[in-house]
Amino acid sequence: MRISKFLAGCALPALLAITVSLSGCSGSGGSVQSEGGTKDGGNGEEKVTLKFAFWGDTIEKKTVTEALESFEQKTGIQVEPMHIPADYLTKLTTMVAGNVAPDLGYLSSGAALSWGKDGKLLNLAPLIEEDKEFKKEDYLDQVWYEIEPGNTIGMSTAVEGYGLMYNKDMLLEAGVELPPTQADKAWDWDTFIQYAKKLTLDDQGRNALDPNFNPNKIKQFGLQYDPYNMMAAVVSNGGNFLTEDGKGFGLAKPEAIDAIQKLADLMYVHHVSPTPLQTKSLPDMALQTKKVAMTVSGNWALQAFAEQDFNLGVGVLPKLMKSNTLLDGAPTVIFKSTKHPKEAWMLYKYMADPESVLPLIEGGLWMPLKKEWYTNPDLINKWASGNKAHPEGYTDAYMKQTIENGIRTPGFEVKNLDKINALVTPALDLVWTGKKSAEEALKEIEPKVQPLIEGYYGK
C-alpha cells in the first residue's frame, strides 16, 4: 500500500504515510438496511447510484470492488467503483472543480483537512448522532479526522502501525538477540545501534564494530530506516511537530532535533542504514536477499513480505525515552456535493466494517478500525494470527502497541501542513543527504515556519 502512504502526505510528503479501512455491516454501527436503496420501485423514480473513488494495487482493487458489489446486493443501491491507480489527488481535484466529484471515497489527509475546512466535505457528526446503530466509541480514538469539535469529516480508511520487521535467519546467524515484541522491553537506542552494527558487513565480511570496517564498501546493512518516518522517534524523545499548545515549531526544539540527528547518524556516523543514494541501489526484496537485516516499516509491508520466501520476524520500534508506534491512515470521506447523503453514509459504514474488507486485513495490508478486533480473541484469530502475513509476536509488536502506544502523524491534525512542509521537507532533505546537521537545517527555517503555524484541527 505504498501508494496510499505517498498520497496521504501525512508527514513531510513521505514522512506521514497513509492508509485505508472502514467499518459497517455487523454489530453496532455496521448494519445495512435495504430501505432507501431502490428508488424505482415501479413508480418511475430513478434508482440511486453512488460513485466510490479509491486507489490501490491489484489486490486492493479486487477486494474493494467485491465489497462494493456485496453492498449493492444487500441494499439495492448501485455503486460505481472508480479505481484511480495513479495521479489520484490531481484527478480528484479536477473532478471536484468540475462539479463531478464522486459521492465518497479515499482522500489524502492534507487534502481532506483543507477541503473539509473549505466546506467541500460532508460533516458526518449529524449522521453519527442520528444513527442509533452506530457508536463512535466502537472505533479506535486515533482514526478520526475532525476540523473542529462537531465537524467530523471521516475516519482513516485503515489503521497502519509501524514496527521493526527483520529477516530472522540473519539475526540468528549473527548471534543477535531478536527484537522485543513488548513495549516495556523495547531496545534502547544504544542497544539498537550495537545490534545494527553487528549486522552491517563490508565486502570483507567485517561488521561495523570492527575497527577495520570499510563504510565505503558495505555489502549488507543492519538496518533500513526511512528517515521520513521520523515522527515515532521524535515523539519517543519527548518532541513533536508543533509544540503542545500548537503555537510553536516543535521540530526546532531540542528534543526533536536530537531525535532527527540520531536518525541521520544511523547513515553517516554509524553506517548501519543506507543513505538515500545507497537506497536506490537496493532491491525491493532487500530482506529476502539479505541485503538488509532489519527495516522500519508500516503494517502494509506485511502483504508483500508474506509473498516472499524468507523467515520474517517483527518487533516493537527501538525507543529513545518512551516506547511508541507511529499511526498512519488517510481518510475516507463523503463529498458535500453528493445528492444521496443517507445512502452514502450507509456505504461508508459498510466499508468501515472489517468483515467487508477482511482479505485486506488478514492479508497484511490494513489493520482494522474497530476496537473489538484488537481485544476479542475470536476476531483477532480472523486476521492477526495463524497466517504468514502476521508472524509470531505480531499481536504484541503491532496490534497491542497500536492501541496502547500509537501516536498519530501530523497529517491528522496540523493546520496548514502543506505550506509548512514546503519548507520543512527540503530542509530535512539536507539532513538526510548529510549536507547539514538537524540543528542547522531546522533552526534556519524556524523564522519562516513560525508565521505559517495555525495550530491543530479538532481543538
Q: Model confidence over 32-85: pLDDT tens digits?
A: 444 444 444 444 567 899 999 999 999 999 999 999 999 999 999 999 999 999
pLDDT at 229 over 90: no
pLDDT at 275 over 50: yes
Residue 134: CB atoms within 10 Å: 22
The structural domains of the chain, ordered by start, are 2-159+329-383 (3.40.190.10), 162-324 (3.40.190.10)
- In the block, cell 505559517 appears at 452
Q: In this predicted structure, what is the pLDDT of residue 35?
A: 42
Q: In this predicted structure, what is the pLDDT of residue 51?
A: 98
pLDDT at 7 over 80: no
Q: In this predicted structure, what is the pLDDT of residue 45?
A: 60
Q: What is the pTM of this model?
A: 0.88
Tell me the one-letter amino acid at 93.
T
pLDDT at 26 over 50: no
Q: In this predicted structure, what is the pLDDT of residue 18?
A: 30
Q: In this predicted structure, what is the pLDDT of residue 363?
A: 95
Residue 177: CB atoms within 10 Å: 11
Q: How confident is the model at residue 385 (pLDDT cuts 50, 70, 90)?
A: confident
For residues 420-430, give the mean pLDDT: 97
CB 458 within 8 A of CB 147: yes
Q: In this predicted structure, what is the pLDDT of residue 33?
A: 45
Average pLDDT along the chain = 90
Measured CA distances, 443 to 233, 418, 437 (Å): 19, 19, 10
For residues 116-127, give the mean pLDDT: 96
Give the pLDDT confidence of 290-320 residue by residue, as tens digits.
Answer: 999 999 999 999 999 999 999 999 999 999 9
Q: In this predicted structure, what is the pLDDT of residue 382?
A: 95
Q: Residue 428: CA atoms inside 13 Å, Cβ hemisphere, count?
A: 27
Phi, psi of 50 (to 5 degrees): -105, 145
* Residue 179: all three cell numbers together: 527484537
Q: How confident is the model at residue 381 (pLDDT cuts 50, 70, 90)?
A: very high
CA–chain centroid gap for 252, Å, is: 24
Q: In this predicted structure, what is the pLDDT of residue 386?
A: 81
- Residue 220's beta-bridge partner residues? 201
pLDDT at 193 over 50: yes
- Residue 456's beta-bridge partner residues? 414
Instruction: Report the b/e string of 181-219 with b at 16+ CB within 10 A.
Output: bebeebbebeebbbbbbbbbbbeeeebbeeeebeeeebe
Least confident of 30-34, 94-98, 366-370: 30-34
